[in-house]
Chains A and B, each alone.
Chain A
Amino acid sequence: MKEYKFTDKKDTRSGFGAGLYELGNKNKNVVAMCADLTGSLKMNEFANKFPERFFQAGIAEANMVGVAAGLTIGNKIPFIGTFAAFATGRVYDQIRQSVAYSNKNVKICASHAGLTLGEDGATHQILEDIGLMKMLPNMTVIVPCDYNQTKAATIAIADYKGPVYLRFGRPKVPNFTDENQKFEIGKAINLNKGTDVSIFATGHMVWEAIEAAKILEKQKISAEIINIHTIKPLDKKSILQSVEKTKAVVVAEEHMINGGLGDSIAQLLASKNPKPIEFVGVNDTFGESGTPDKLMEKYGLKAKNIVDAVNKVISRK
């Protein structure tokens, strides 16, 4: 299988911060807002260099979303940052009316998504945000897998006109994608060609899928790994092409199985090419406090869980 190496581990939120800073330099219409989490979101560099284009919202996320929608009317491109829990569920109605229905060019940048937020526990570990956002018409949903990809995605969404939900996380994870990659919204990335099973993964689970494929190779199972960094619009063509070849599917995401990427793929396959499918995700439960690693293990989101799911799905072929 194709080998992926990483020299360092980095947090995806820092990729966002770096991308935003670069945008600040090259596009004067890019403005940013944060709800009292500037350091956590790695927005400090932007805020310090471009104070006239950075607006502190305080602990008032609903207003932040509304102000951002207003800023777009004056041709600004607002990037608003807070934790994913507060960037989605807390402000769903504001996003629905002021951003999605009104089709405003707001970039909702959500950090600390999923279980890997860690010790703060279930109140902050949102596992429903992808579902909430993908249900909204006009909304694009992007979940990059590492630092480099998050940086590239941040830069790319400034050039796309329309509402975007960009989801990233807190922990340091392997940074293995190309530093100079060009991010294409809606274009899945085939990381490893395989013949026995298609593993569709998003966000932090992409690296786990790569680790899983290494184990599977020893079991003589050839796994195709596809990084679905854009959950909406879904790259239907790439997914259908892969499944036509492998005839078995595993979806891996750090999100509730209900309403996540797995749902989208199952829906696509059910109508176009039904095949056995297994889901690696959180199964209708809230999270809890713990280290990211311990949590991912307890809730079944590690490479070994992908391996188990692959074996199960292949037995159903």
Chain B
Amino acid sequence: MEDIKKLQEISSQVRRDILRMVHQNASGHPGGALGCADFFTCLYFSVLNQNPKKFTVNDNGEDLFFLSNGHLSAVWYSVLARAGYFNINELKTFRSINSRLQGHPTTAEGLEGIRIASGSLGQGLSNALGAALAKKLNNDKNLVYSLHGDGELQEGQIWEAAMFANAHKIDNIISTIDYNKKQIDGSTDNVITLGDLHAKWESFGWLVFETDGNNIKELLKTLNKAKQNTFKGKPIVIIMKTEMGMGVDFMMGTHKWHGSAPNDEQLAKALSQLKETLGDY
């Protein structure tokens, strides 16, 4: 219980970071980032076997994470900094000229924690599967994790990759879906309906779990269950039901905050709803 409280405190601070980062440059994608703050917190402060201070772009024998929906960069940068990959003061440079914290994540400027560029959607699952295959060749028992947007599942490459994973029995991967049912043009149902996601992944040969992506206790439980089912011949996917804009009342229940930043007044109102637990950068 104590651990969960600690993680909740971290995710509150991560949400503050996200809001302040996108506000500062009046650009970024707060909605999805806020919705996934709990997942990122669980991953980087509980789940991953990682070594932030000894980061290398190539795999050095640890768990790997791939962010396929790169526009969630703000939440990733926040947890990476908070986990010790780089100095939290660097969050100030998000999306500014000469920054390592590009709008979408990249390896070009050598930012610790990032192993491949993402932004153009649909590519991260393939990247993660390649890294997972390499782990098998290297006899490395660590795992590969990936995150994908639900709207991103409209990209055909995702399903090429899903088929590939099953065909090659890549069972050292845990992929996760940010299932908030929203994308830029509206709800996924109205844009291009995703249909029965659970059945889709299952029919592609994946072991499917579902969880509440904004409940840290449940998230950890599901991630652990998934972990216990690795190396059993099947790739694993977790469909995480999340709320876009989670933690800020006026940002929830709408797709409006997918790619727009709060103004001064909105920022103040949003921050008043999130406790400063670790100190703002």
Contacts and interface: CB of A to CB of B under 8 A. Distances in A.
Interface in A186-240: none
Interface of A: 31, 52-53, 55-58, 60, 62-76, 78, 93-94, 96-98, 101-104
Given A52-B137, A97-B119, A101-B117, A70 B106 contact: no
Nearest to B168: A55
Nearest to A74: B134
Contacts of A66: 123-127, 129-130, 157, 161
A102 B57 CA distance: 10
B164 A97 contact: no
A71 B123 contact: no
B90 interface: no
A74 to B, nearest CB: 2
Given A65-B126, A97-B117, A97-B119, A71 B134 contact: yes
B164 A73 contact: no
Nearest to B132: A70
B131 A71 contact: yes
A75 B56 CA distance: 11
B115 interface: yes
Contacts of A62: 122-123, 126, 156-157, 160
Nearest to A59: B160
22 contacts: A58-B163, A58-B167, A60-B157, A60-B160, A60-B164, A62-B122, A63-B129, A63-B161, A66-B129, A69-B126, A69-B130, A70-B127, A70-B128, A70-B130, A72-B58, A73-B130, A74-B133, A74-B135, A76-B134, A97-B120, A98-B116, A102-B107
Interface in B111-163: 115-120, 122-135, 137-138, 140, 156-157, 160-161, 163
Given A58-B160, A73-B59, 9 more contacts: A31-B137, A55-B168, A62-B157, A63-B160, A66-B123, A66-B161, A74-B137, A102-B116, A102-B117
A74 B131 CA distance: 6
A55 B130 CA distance: 10
Contacts of A68: 130
Contacts of A97: 117-120, 123
B64 interface: yes
| Smallest CB-CB A-B distances: 6 pairs | A70-B130, A74-B134, A66-B126, A63-B160, A60-B160, A67-B130
A58 B106 contact: no
A70 B118 contact: no
A69 B137 contact: no
B108 A101 contact: yes
A65 B117 CA distance: 14
A98 B126 contact: yes
Contacts of B116: 69-70, 73, 98, 102, 104
B131 A70 contact: yes
Interface residues of B, number: 39
A102 B119 CA distance: 12
A55 B133 CA distance: 10
Interface of B: 57-59, 64, 66, 106-108, 115-120, 122-135, 137-138, 140, 156-157, 160-161, 163-164, 167-168
Nearest to B118: A97
A184 to B, nearest CB: 26
A31 B117 CA distance: 22
B108 A103 contact: yes
B123 A75 contact: no
A63 B126 CA distance: 5
A103 B59 CA distance: 15
B118 to A, nearest CB: 7
Contacts of B124: 66
A33 B92 CA distance: 42
Given A31-B137, A52-B137, A66-B161, A101 B125 contact: no
Contacts of B168: 55
A66 B118 CA distance: 11
A56 B167 CA distance: 9
A67 B131 CA distance: 7
Contacts of A74: 58-59, 130-131, 133-135, 137-138, 140
A94 to B, nearest CB: 6
B157 A94 contact: yes
B134 A75 contact: yes
Contacts of B106: 101-102
A42 B114 CA distance: 36
Contacts of B132: 70
Contacts of B131: 70-71, 73-74
Contacts of A98: 116-117, 123, 126-127
